[in-house]
Amino acid sequence: MKEHLKKFLKKFKLYHPLQAFYRGVIAFASNNYYKLLYSRYKGKGFSCNFCGATYQKFVPEFPSSETSGAIGINEVIAGYGENVYCPNCLSKNRERLVLAVIQNMLSIEHKTILHFSPEKHLYNYLKSKTVVTTVDLEPGFYRNIDSAISYANATNLRFNNESFDMIIANHVLEHIPDDAKAMNEMYRVLKTGGTAILQVPYSERLPTTIEEPFIRDPKKQERLFGQKDHVRIYSLSDYTKRLKTAGFQVNVLSPQKLEQFKVNGIQENESVILCYK
């Protein structure tokens, strides 16, 4: 039934707008719920670098029983933990981490940015500072964040060589079957001297990446890779190797180097993967 409804909505181009609408309603409701629930935790501890709110703790998120196996066994740094969402604005730890790095370690003034699958808070910040082009394989899903978002297949980008000063693809590559091709394309459209922030869930425990690039079995994907639309779990060392093969110079900012951002409720033990051309 669900599949029929999906097909019907897709046929009339209503699927993504409806999904975006429902996501908006859920976000609005959860936002008010958490604002109320966490009002008693207002105070010192964590500070949101998007909205400035300070709390003793943020909202936790843990993997479901279907996904916890893959994440636990492989020790995947996947965004879960005790302090994930800001109770005041619902920004996520992965957005706050990228923002902290951009604000403190990089400069985006007058730079052109290509933002894949844009996250709401991060996109709004970038847009307030400079020119941002947003893209996704399913742009309808993100229309509520940027109405000008356009379709793009990361493995075949329509942009000219050397088009952007910065690329942000935050948790995108683990969804793409031919990630080597996507990395090549990202490298091609990045300007020489440009920077790409290409965060993915990864494991430092795995010696090699585990993947089934052409799998189309959400249940199995949850079980194997920790999310129903992921096609791999990267080994960190293999991930950086793949990026280097595409041409990037890679700088892994270790959690020690990111210590100063802990106050923003970033994920424990996550490294930031900065790629340069």
Q: Strands 272-276 and 249-253, how do they pair?
A: antiparallel
- Here the tokens at position 67 are 């996904």
Identify the residue among 48, 59, 196, 231 touching Zn ion (CB under 5 A).
48
Cβ at position 59, least distance to Zn ion in Å: 11
Please tell me whether residue 133 binds Zn ion under the rule CB under 5 A: no
Whole-angstrom Cα distance, residue 221 to residue 259?
33
State the binding string over 49-68 for Zn ion (x if CB under 5 A, else -).
-xx-x---------------
- 125/142 with CB nearer Zn ion: 125
Residues 11-30 that bind Zn ion (CB under 5 A): none
Whole-angstrom Cα distance, residue 91 to residue 85?
6
Whole-angstrom Cα distance, residue 182 to residue 177?
9
- Total residues contacting Zn ion by CB under 5 A comes to 8
DSSP 3-state of 186: helix
Whole-angstrom Cα distance, residue 206 to residue 266?
23
Q: Which range touches Zn ion (CB under 5 A), out of 2-10, 23-31, 47-55, 183-191?
A: 47-55
Cβ at position 7, least distance to Zn ion in Å: 38
The sign of the CA dihedral 10, 14, 18, 21 is positive
Cβ at position 220, least distance to Zn ion in Å: 36
- 86/113 with CB nearer Zn ion: 86
Whole-angstrom Cα distance, residue 197 to residue 276?
9
φ, ψ for residue 18 (rounded to 5)?
A: -65, -45
Cβ at position 145, least distance to Zn ion in Å: 16
State the binding string over 77-116 for Zn ion (x if CB under 5 A, else -).
---------x-xx-x-------------------------
- 9/89 with CB nearer Zn ion: 89
What one-character DSSP code corresponds to residue 12? T
Q: Summarize as ranges the residues that interact with Zn ion (CB under 5 A).
A: 48, 50-51, 53, 86, 88-89, 91
